[in-house]
Structures are given as C-alpha cells and as structure tokens.
C-alpha cells in the first residue's frame, strides 16, 4: 500500500511494516531525557490511549505489558508523537518511580535505561555521571 501519510492528519499507524510492531521512544515530558525504547502493536497502543499508561508489547515474553503494573514504576502519558511515516512513536511521559528494570549502586531503580555511553576510545562502556 502506497500513500502520502507525511502530510495527512488521519491516524494510520503502519504496524504491518515491521511485522505488527513499531518502536516507541519514551521521553520524560519535563526533562526531555530519553528513558527507554519499547515496541507497540495495535493492542498496546489502544491500551495506552484508553488508560493513559504506557503500554508495550513485550518481545521477550510475547505479551502485553503496562509499565508499572507490577513494579509500581508507572509512566503516565502526557503526549504521543507520531513520526512522518506513522511507523514510530514517542511517548512523552510523567514518571512515577524509575523506568529501567536495572538498579544503581544504591539498589534504586534507574531513571533511564540509557545509563551508559561508549567511552572515548570507542572500545568499552562507561557510566553516565550519576547513573552508577
């Protein structure tokens, strides 16, 4: 199917392009920090829209997953951005708790899953300051 969605205001998310899943970048609405990357199918997006809570398709468990349902670390949706091809989303959220499933040196849930960077020698990873 070929059409010009770049200028269209009709919501036509292109789930079929990637086998039913689209990438979802999660961003803190206030700090603009990237918190995580997840995937959504139509069911996950519908659940996100209806509940106002970030919901994804878990590629490891092959099931719907609403962030915070078991951990309490909820991501409340403030805005959903759709890219020009309607095949990727940004969930702008308010965090209630951490985001990542990993913990820092103080045994606290990390704010972001992006807590490391490639070092200057481009050989290894190093912690982003404050994310140890």
53 domain residue, yes or no? yes
Longest dimension (CA), the chain: 51
Mapping DSSP onto H, E and C, the string for 4-71 reads CCCCCCCCCCCHHHHCCCEEEEEEECCCCCEEEEEEECHHHHHHHHHHCECEEEECCCCEEEECCCCC
Q: Which domain holds residue 56?
A: 15-102
Residue with tokens 């689209």: 22
Residue with tokens 């809570």: 53
**CATH code at position 97:** 3.10.20.810
118 domain residue, yes or no? no
42 domain residue, yes or no? yes
77 domain residue, yes or no? yes
Its pTM stands at 0.88
Tell me the pLDDT tens digit for each residue of 4-62. Answer: 556 789 999 999 998 999 999 999 999 999 999 999 999 999 999 999 999 999 999 99
């Amino acid at each position: 199917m070929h059409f010009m969605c770049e200028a269209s205001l009709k919501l036509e998310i292109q789930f079929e392009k990637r086998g039913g899943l689209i990438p979802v970048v999660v961003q803190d609405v206030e700090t603009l920090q990237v918190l995580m990357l997840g995937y959504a199918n139509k069911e996950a997006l519908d659940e996100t829209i209806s509940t106002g809570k970030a919901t994804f398709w878990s590629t490891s468990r092959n099931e719907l997953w609403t962030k915070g349902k078991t951990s309490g670390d909820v991501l409340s949706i403030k805005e959903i951005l759709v890219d020009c091809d309607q095949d990727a989303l940004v969930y702008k959220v308010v965090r209630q708790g951490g985001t990542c499933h990993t913990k820092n040196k103080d045994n606290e849930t990390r704010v972001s899953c992006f807590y490391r960077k490639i070092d200057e020698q481009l050989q290894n990873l190093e912690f982003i300051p404050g994310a140890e």
